[in-house]
Structure 1
């Protein structure tokens, strides 16, 4: 059953983006880019690992590199003290 993004975030899932560079199958000297994005659990990223395993076993383009960014979207509020008070007319 598919779960909503909010339900996943409440269970510590984070929005994860992977920037994947891979060699083009017909021209191995050229690199192509692919962006993958889904909710995943940091720091082990099981969904991303399953996707990369699927890629390496079923697709022809050999992986070159993967850059991963992850952000927790639901977080406790942060309070900061103002350093200055400015008045504009």
Structure 2
């Protein structure tokens, strides 16, 4: 008998991951007057954002561009849904 394994992305959703979009505004050393933008969309855990923090740590260590600001948007992919109970179903003749 085959064992069924849940899709890893679906399992992440059940574990609380949601879609996160980060907008990073930064300046390059050779053009400090020019503000540039980088958008990145990925799965992460709110409110701690461990994946985003790792990325920003990497940026600070490895990339010469100086971060001006970071804007984060997050939406959970699985949330409780509204449930309505039906008391009377009615009859058809």
| TM-score of the pair, normalised by structure 1 | 0.80
Gaps of 5+ in 1: 81-89
Matching of residues 1-89 of structure 1 within 5 Å: 4-78=8-82
Higher Cα radius of gyration: 2
Q: CA deviation at 1:25?
A: 2.8
TM-score by length of 2: 0.76
Give the number of the structure whose residues are more often strand, by fraction. Answer: 2
5+ residue gaps, structure 2, are 1-6, 85-93
SS at match of 1:30: strand
Query: Pairwise CA RMSD of aligned residues?
Result: 1.7
